[in-house]
Amino acid sequence: MVELTILGTGAWIADAKKKRFGPSVLLKNEGKNILIDAPGGINYQLAHAGLVANDIDYIFLTHHHPDHTSGLIQLIGEMYITRRSAKSQLTIVSPEPQKLVRRILKPYKSTFDSIEKLSQFKINFKKIKNGAQITGIGLKETGITPCKLNHSKTNEDYGYRFECEGKKIAITGDTAYCEELVTLLSGTDVAICECSHVQKLPGHLTAYEAKTMSLFTKKLIPYHIYPGWDVKKEFKGFGNIHVAKDLERIKF
């Protein structure tokens, strides 16, 4: 069984009214837990979903901006403190993994035994290439293809397309409109698609653009939502756009 948990639908700015957590999704397939992005406090949000850090087998990062990665060291730290088993290798799939280590993990090196081998368990870093299916990470029945998108001039930004048990799922991360985004979403059963605001923000989709993206998927779930606009009202009447609540589960 394939299961999606929408851990967070929010963005960089906290939403005191809607209480949206940062942008993050959990995909369960082949008995493995795959986390897509790790915003600050992710270990607490996993706890709200009934999981602990050591339940996570894979972490996929869309890019290195703090609202997608600032919880990574918290997550690894919890694994370290709770003495994750040496048999439980953690795989981190990321654009430019060398930069990830230098920017985000290396500053904490003195906190742990080492960067790539924390206590008993090892971290395997997997570099991605645009359009090349990800292999060699132990997921034999899950097809995963990264798609380079258009968000930042200083960071590589990717969305991921997962094919599990005949279902096609796209998760965008942050992006402005681009043809590659259409390719990523086309023919999917579910697309978890960034939709920051009704107004244009550089490197992001507007609500209008998200409505257009809904033409390419059976169901579009907006996330990376900034406060200050009525999301449900904006998408009212669009039958295949579902405004999800944080921690909502979708089973296939």
pTM: predicted TM-score of the whole model, two decimal places: 0.94
Span 183-204, average pLDDT: 96
Confirm if 119 and 142 have CB atoms less than 8 A apart.
no
Over residues 8-34, mean pLDDT? 93
pLDDT digits (tens, 9 = 90+) for 88-101: 889 999 999 988 88
16/22: higher pLDDT: 22
Fold of 3-244: Metallo-beta-lactamase; Chain A (3.60.15)
Share of the chain above pLDDT 70, in %: 95
Examine the pLDDT at 227 and tell me if it is beyond 90. yes
pLDDT surpassing 60 at residue 238 = yes
Q: What is the 3-state secondary structure (H, E, C) of the chain?
A: CCEEEEEECECCCCCCCCCCCCCEEEEEECCEEEEECCCCCHHHHHHHCCCCHHHCCEEECCCCCHHHHCCHHHHHHHHHHCCCCCCCCEEEEECCHHHHHHHHHHHHHHHCCCCCEECCEEEEEEECCCCCCCCCCCCCCEEEEEEECCCCCCCCCEEEEEEECCEEEEECCCCCCCHHHHHHHCCECEEEEECCECCCCCCCCEHHHHHHHHHHECCEEEECECCCCCHHHHCCCCCCECCCCCCEEEEC
Task: Using pLDDT thresholds of 50, 70 and 90, give the confidence band for residue 21.
Answer: very high
Determine the average pLDDT of the residues in 52-64. Answer: 97
User: What is the average per-residue pLDDT within 65-70?
Assistant: 94
Phi, psi dihedral angles at 95 (to 5 degrees): -65, 145
Is the pLDDT at 120 greater than 90, yes or no?
no
Question: What's the whole-number mean pLDDT along residues 31-60?
Answer: 97
Q: Cα(20)–Cα(9) distance, rounded to whole angstroms?
A: 6
